[in-house]
Amino acid sequence: MKTRTASALVSLCILSGTFKTHAKVFTCSGIVTNVISKYDQFEVRYKSAQTGEQMAPIWIYETHAYLLGPVLKAIEAGKKFNTEYMLVLENRASDDILCMAGHALIAITKK
């Protein structure tokens, strides 16, 4: 009975439009150059592979601390071989500026 009630409430909320999606996920590519600890989070710095321009830093939040290992490997590969990585980011801010503001890193892979 509780399952049916909960299911009915979720359906009602969805129909009434009270749930909204706020997260925006997108990708940026670049060469990872550094990571520093700042304000109990990790700031990842990377540069554009096309222009060499340093991009705005992105953040690894506590919930995604498991990304530190892959980021450290990406830094090493960037220094040795100029390896480009695809960064999957979540826009946690209200702005629509992609790849230019301090967004949250949620995944990283070689490009």
Q: What count of Cα atoms within 13 Å lies in the side-chain half-sphere of residue 61?
A: 10
Answer yes or no: is 14 within a domain: no
- pTM value is 0.74
pLDDT, tens digit, 9 for 90 and up, residues 7-21: 443 443 444 444 444
pLDDT above 70 as % of the chain: 77
Q: What is the CATH number of the domain that holds 80?
A: 2.40.50.140
Closest to 101 in 3D by CA, of 93, 109, 38: 93
pLDDT above 90 as % of the chain: 54
Q: How many domains in the chain?
A: 1
Longest dimension (CA), the chain: 61
Quote the domain boundaries for residue 42: 22-110
Answer yes or no: is 87 within a domain: yes
Q: What is the pLDDT of residue 17?
A: 43
pLDDT, tens digit, 9 for 90 and up, residues 70-91: 999 999 999 999 999 999 999 8
Spell out the long-range contacts of 94-98 with Cβ–Cβ below 8 A and sequence spacing 24 or more.
96/24, 98/26, 98/28
